[in-house]
């Protein structure tokens, strides 16, 4: 039984970059800053490609929502092993949050007759950890989140979830939405020969209106601040001075 798998990938600021807040506090500096595929999306994609290699998936479709630059991560995903890509294009000014993306994914699932959605558990820029859950809700599908192990068992999935208390094993009836956690797998790199070959794979561009989805925002970011700068400590000569200083700053 071969599934058609949809993998969502997000283009985010690379994890190694030191993020800076814009002087007008409207957001973070993005221009000229290195971007890459969200690490948890890489893990989700790797899992999908492995399903394909084991002939448990018939096709891996990768989707990314955002402005033109999203196509970079779609191309990388195609080089890693996805079969075709969909870019849902929005203008630079449109903000897409988890709810909007979930609606888009739900619409694509219906359009492409998808049987399994694989997503990263969260994006490293917003840390929302909501898209997978909302998508499952909108589709009324089973969901397995924070997955560190996944096995296909006929018409069901057996997944191990990393939860606060330890590891939880759950059986889910397909179709399902799965969100990948760190230990699910070690993703492969997109190699140069595969990047070359991927240029021939199909990348379709869709507009929001083509999907008939309402993506009007439900919240507004008021301001963004950097955390307070760490100040130099004060060196004291002895315990008496330490106690005095602590009293001075009202700590004791």
Question: Where does this chain bind other proteins (CB under 8 A)?
Answer: 16, 34, 36, 76, 79, 185-195
* Residue 39 contacts residue 73 (beta carbons within 8 Å): no
Task: Between 58 and 194, name the residue whose CB sits nearer to other proteins.
Answer: 194
Least separation in angstroms between residue 185's CB and other proteins is: 7
Least separation in angstroms between residue 21's CB and other proteins is: 21
Task: Between 80 and 107, name the residue whose CB sits nearer to other proteins.
Answer: 80
Task: Between 22 and 189, name the residue whose CB sits nearer to other proteins.
Answer: 189
Least separation in angstroms between residue 8's CB and other proteins is: 19
SS3 call for 175: coil
Within 10 Å of residue 231's Cβ, how many Cβ atoms?
6
* Residue 161 parent element (H or E): strand 156-163
Q: Which residue has tokens 């994914």?
A: 105
Task: Between 140 and 186, name the residue whose CB sits nearer to other proteins.
Answer: 186
* Residue 49 contacts residue 60 (beta carbons within 8 Å): yes
Task: Between 75 and 103, name the residue whose CB sits nearer to other proteins.
Answer: 75
Tokens of 70: 């999203």
Task: Between 186 and 240, name the residue whose CB sits nearer to other proteins.
Answer: 186
Within 10 Å of residue 5's Cβ, how many Cβ atoms?
27
Least separation in angstroms between residue 186's CB and other proteins is: 4
Listed in sequence order, the residues at least 6 apart from 73 whose beta carbon sits closer than 8 Å to its beta carbon are 9, 10, 11, 35, 36, 37, 41, 64
Least separation in angstroms between residue 83's CB and other proteins is: 17
Least separation in angstroms between residue 74's CB and other proteins is: 13
Name the phi and psi angles at 92, rounded to 5: -60, -30
């Amino acid at each position: 039984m071969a599934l058609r798998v949809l993998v969502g990938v997000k283009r985010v600021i690379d994890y190694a970059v030191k993020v800076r807040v814009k002087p007008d506090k409207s957001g973070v500096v993005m221009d000229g800053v290195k971007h890459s595929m969200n690490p948890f999306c890489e893990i989700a994609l790797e899992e999908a490609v492995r399903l394909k290699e084991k002939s448990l998936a018939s096709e891996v479709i990768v989707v990314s929502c955002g402005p033109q630059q999203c196509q970079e991560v779609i191309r990388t995903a195609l080089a890693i092993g996805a079969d075709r890509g969909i870019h849902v294009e929005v203008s630079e000014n449109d903000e897409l949050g988890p709810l909007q993306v979930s609606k888009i994914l739900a619409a694509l699932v219906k359009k492409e007759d998808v049987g399994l959605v694989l997503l990263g558990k969260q994006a490293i820029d917003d840390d929302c950890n909501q898209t997978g859950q909302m998508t499952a809700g909108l589709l009324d599908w089973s969901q397995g989140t924070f997955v560190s192990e996944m096995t296909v068992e006929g018409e069901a999935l057996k997944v191990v979830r990393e939860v606060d208390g330890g590891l939880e094993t759950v059986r889910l009836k397909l179709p399902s939405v799965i969100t990948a956690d760190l230990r699910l797998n070690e993703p492969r790199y997109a190699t140069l020969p595969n990047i070359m070959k991927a240029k021939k794979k199909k990348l379709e561009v869709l507009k929001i209106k083509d999907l008939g989805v309402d993506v009007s925002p439900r919240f507004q970011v008021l301001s963004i601040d950097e955390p307070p700068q760490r100040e130099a400590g004060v060196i004291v000569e002895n315990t008496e001075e330490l106690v005095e200083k602590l009293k001075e700053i009202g700590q004791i």
